[in-house]
């Protein structure tokens, strides 16, 4: 009897299966009610009492190894099948590779830079962390100017003041300190204001500043340059108008409006019925600013302008909440895939 059990043990040890059906066959052969192992347990009564204990242990060993074999084979073949199902169907289409797209602010920043590049403007950048000189003093901000107040500026250190720049105008100073006229450059960048976040305002946003310094630069040059920009960016029928304004670093200063590109000047929700939309601030560089940067204000004149990229983008694409730019919501960002 023992020899038969050892023969079955060898058979179980060397058994291999390729399919679930072969495993099932093996299970029925050894473990089912009418299989070999229950049958052998039935033979116990024919074994002599002194050998019965050993034989019982041997049968238990046989039963365990058969059960373990079934478990192991089922696990292995099961895994292989699930891998095969995924990997081998060559008729399936390949996985779709999802490409990202440019952020709307990047699209508009590039468009603005491209327009000014065509008329000879280069691009310069400056640091986001600035000292008081570059952000305020050299730009002719009076000591008591409200922009210096804690409510508007994120200060990093006090006396000497170090702050997150509140505008890209600080780059004007850095460029004028470094380069000699003629200077013709735009400065795109991120700026920071200590403001409550709402649909219309954020504590950081982006600007593009422009600067042109040379001999005999006049207000007419400023107007012509900005008219060129407006027609390139908003369309050839765009009209502009300049309204007197005030900035510490330009004199005279102006705000530029464009004729509403939605209603063509008739009046609509975007232009609040006026037919005009405010688009940027500008002016002739104040002689004090030129002198602060060691540029002879008797010999040279220049103009500067600055616009918010968020505001321009919101106007162009009819976006009504500035926070959408920073939420990283793919449903919003994917709308600009065709633009980039």
- State the residues that interact with Zn ion by CB under 5 A: 260, 262-263, 268, 270-271
Collapse the DSSP code of 306 into the 3-class scheme (helix H, G, I; strand E, B; otherwise coil) and give the result: strand
The residues near 302 (Cβ < 8 Å, ≥ 6 apart) are 181, 183, 211, 212, 213, 214, 217, 284, 285, 290
Instruction: Output the smallest distance, CB 297 to Zn ion, in A.
Output: 40
Q: Is 262 exposed, middle or buried (0-12, 13-18, 19+ CB in 10 A)?
A: middle
Which of 113, 263 has the CB closer to Zn ion?
Answer: 263
Instruction: Output the smallest distance, CB 263 to Zn ion, in A.
Output: 3
Q: Is 172 exposed, middle or buried (0-12, 13-18, 19+ CB in 10 A)?
A: buried
d(CA 26, CA 11) in angstroms, rounded, equals 10
Instruction: Output the smallest distance, CB 255 to Zn ion, in A.
Output: 17
Which of 318, 338 has the CB closer to Zn ion?
Answer: 318
d(CA 169, CA 124) in angstroms, rounded, equals 12
Which of 47, 270 has the CB closer to Zn ion?
Answer: 270
Which residue sits closest to Zn ion, CB atoms considered? 260
Which of 222, 258 has the CB closer to Zn ion?
Answer: 258
Instruction: Output the smallest distance, CB 267 to Zn ion, in A.
Output: 6
Which of 147, 262 has the CB closer to Zn ion?
Answer: 262
User: Phi-psi region for residue 197, left (φ > 0), alpha (ψ -120 to 50) or beta?
Assistant: beta
d(CA 18, CA 72) in angstroms, rounded, equals 13
Instruction: Output the smallest distance, CB 262 to Zn ion, in A.
Output: 5
Instruction: Output the smallest distance, CB 264 to Zn ion, in A.
Output: 7
Which of 129, 262 has the CB closer to Zn ion?
Answer: 262
Strand order through the sheet with 183-192:
122-123, 183-192, 204-214, 301-308, 276-285, 250-259, 240-247
């Amino acid at each position: 009897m023992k020899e038969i059990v050892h023969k079955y043990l060898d058979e179980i040890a060397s058994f291999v299966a390729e399919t679930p059906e072969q495993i099932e066959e093996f299970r029925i052969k050894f473990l089912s009610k009418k299989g070999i192992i229950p049958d052998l347990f039935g033979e116990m009564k024919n074994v002599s009492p002194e050998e019965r204990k050993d034989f019982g242990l041997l049968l238990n060993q046989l039963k365990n190894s058969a059960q373990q074999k079934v478990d192991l084979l089922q696990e292995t073949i099961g895994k292989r099948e699930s891998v095969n199902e995924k990997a081998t169907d060559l008729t399936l289409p390949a996985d779709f590779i999802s490409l990202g797209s440019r952020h709307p602010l990047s699209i508009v920043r590039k468009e603005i830079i491209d327009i000014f590049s065509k008329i000879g403007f280069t691009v310069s950048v400056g640091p986001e962390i600035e000292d008081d000189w570059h952000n305020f003093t050299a730009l002719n901000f009076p000591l008591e100017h409200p922009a210096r107040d804690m409510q508007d500026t994120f200060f990093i250190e006090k006396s000497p003041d170090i702050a997150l720049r509140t505008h890209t105008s600080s780059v004007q100073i850095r460029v004028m300190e470094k380069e000699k006229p003629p200077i013709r450059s735009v400065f795109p960048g991120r700026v920071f204001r200590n403001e409550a976040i709402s649909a219309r305002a954020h504590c950081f946003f982006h600007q593009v500043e422009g600067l042109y310094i040379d001999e005999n630069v006049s207000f007419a040059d400023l107007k012509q340059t900005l008219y060129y920009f407006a027609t390139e960016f908003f369309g050839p029928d765009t009209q502009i108008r300049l309204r007197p304004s005030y900035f510490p670093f330009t004199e005279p200063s102006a705000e530029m409006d464009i004729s509403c590109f939605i209603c063509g000047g008739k009046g609509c929700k975007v232009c609040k019925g006026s037919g005009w939309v405010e688009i940027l601030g500008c002016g002739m560089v104040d002689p004090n600013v030129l002198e602060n940067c060691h540029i002879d204000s008797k010999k040279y004149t220049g103009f500067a302008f600055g616009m918010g990229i968020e505001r321009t983008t919101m106007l162009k694409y009819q976006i009504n909440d500035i926070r959408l730019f920073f939420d990283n919501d793919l449903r919003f960002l994917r709308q600009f895939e065709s633009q980039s």
